[in-house]
Structure formats: structure tokens, C-alpha cells
Amino acid sequence: MHANRKRWGGPAGLVLSLAIAIGGGAAHAAEPIEPLPLRVELDAAKVALGDKLFHDKRLSRDGTIACASCHRLDSGGVDNSPVSTGIDGAKGSINAPTVFNSGYNFRQFWDGRARSLEEQAAGPIHNPIEMGSDWSQVLGKLRQDPALTAQAAAAYPQGLTEESIVDAIATFERSLITPAPFDRYLRGDGSAIGLGAARGYELFKDYGCVACHQGVNVGGNMFQV
């Protein structure tokens, strides 16, 4: 259903259209927006290791910044700041995007320079105004932790390496999904959202917003200029 689809003529038609949508929910196969999955199948050991690494400030040079410093899980996956703060109080030039549902973006970072979550996870470690570290420093510190080393060995045959660290963090991030009532509506549950929200969704499609805002994340599927 796109902006150029046939529209009902007048208010009565709009009410009829909404009644159909509300009664049975959205027809998933025909919708430009796809519902988030209810769950994802991931390796539990890798998710647990990634969770620990995501919150580990030893990834930064001075031990003050973790992934969770800018991507707070208790605050929508962001830090609620105009720009993020890195080591030594350094300020970035842009705000942090949310980590929630980020596995469904076709690129990572606002400028799309990373093609995967794994590639993205390594970026801040080397950025001089974010974590300002390198793999030699990171591995040197983490491998001194017997408990973390054992946990990594249980999840990865090679143990703690550059590859296992970014894979674990990315796997954890893929577990951070937020299915909502709107996703139930997209699956056909017409009672999941109210009439106003359903009408808003119809207008969202009719006005062409879905030309850019579609897919699982209601965006994040294309470069825009």
C-alpha cells in the first residue's frame, strides 16, 4: 500500500477503510511496514558474553566508556544528549542512534559507513574521541580476567579475539528487539491499537510517508540525500 494507491472518496470511504483495518488488523503481506519479530533465535552463550562486553568500560583506553555509555538500555538505547561524550570528556559531532532493533537497519552509523553490526562494534573502539583504544590494549586487559576468559572460551572455540568480541556484541545487539502493539496490529490484531492510531497509519501511507519510512524499522532501509 503506497502513496499512489487508490483512495476512498470522502469521509465515508475513510471510515469504511478504517473499519476494515480495525476489524481485522493490517494485511501484513500488503503492508509497506513489516512487524518486528516476537523473538529471535540466537546463541544464548554469545548473547550473554555480548551483554557483558557491551557494558565493559575496559574497551576504552582509560576505562571510562562502554558501549552502554552512549547506548543506554534504560533510556531508549541512547544517551539523550545532542552529542555523545567519549574519553577525556571529548565531544562527538552527532548524537548516538538507538541500539534497539538496530540489526534491521541496512547500514550502521548515521552515515551508513558500516555494513554490519560487527563492523560497527569495532568503530568506537578505535575512534580517538570515543573509546580511543586499539585491539592490543583491549585484549591485553580482557585476557587478564579469568572469569571473562572462561566465558568467552565457552562461547567461542578461539576464546577472546577481535572477531569473537565484535561477534558477541553484535549478537547481543540483535537480541534487543522491541515488539509493540503496532506490530501486533500489523499481524492482524485489529484491537491492538486505537482508532486514532489506525487512522494515522492510513494517512501515513496515503500521504506518501512510507516512500522513505517503511520496512521493519519504519526506515533505515536506504540512503537519503
Predicted confidence (pLDDT) per residue in 60-111, tens digit: 999 999 999 999 999 999 999 999 999 999 998 889 999 999 999 888 887 8
3-state secondary structure of 78: strand
* Domain locations along the chain: 11-38+179-211, 44-174
CA R_g for the chain: 21
| Bridge partners for 6 per DSSP | none
**So what's the pLDDT on residue 23?**
47
Which CATH architecture group holds 44-174? Orthogonal Bundle (1.10)
CA 144-146-147 angle, to 5 degrees, is 130
How large is the angle between the packed helices 11-24 and 195-206, nearest 10 degrees? 120
- Could you tell me which of 49, 36, 53, 6 has the C-alpha nearest to residue 192? 36
| Bridge partners for 108 per DSSP | 114
End-to-end, the C-alpha distance of the chain in Å comes to 24
Number of H helices and number of E strands within the chain? 9, 0
Distance CA 70, CA 68 (A): 5
Longest Cα–Cα distance in the chain: 70
**So what's the pLDDT on residue 20?**
39
pLDDT < 70 positions in the chain: 1-29, 225
3-state secondary structure of 33: strand
Catalytic residue among 31, 130, 173, 202: 130
Determine phi and psi for 119, rounding to 5 degrees.
-65, -40
**So what's the pLDDT on residue 28?**
54
**So what's the pLDDT on residue 171?**
98
- Could you tell me which of 140, 193, 138, 220 has the C-alpha nearest to residue 18? 193
Check if 31 is active-site: no
Residue type, 16: L
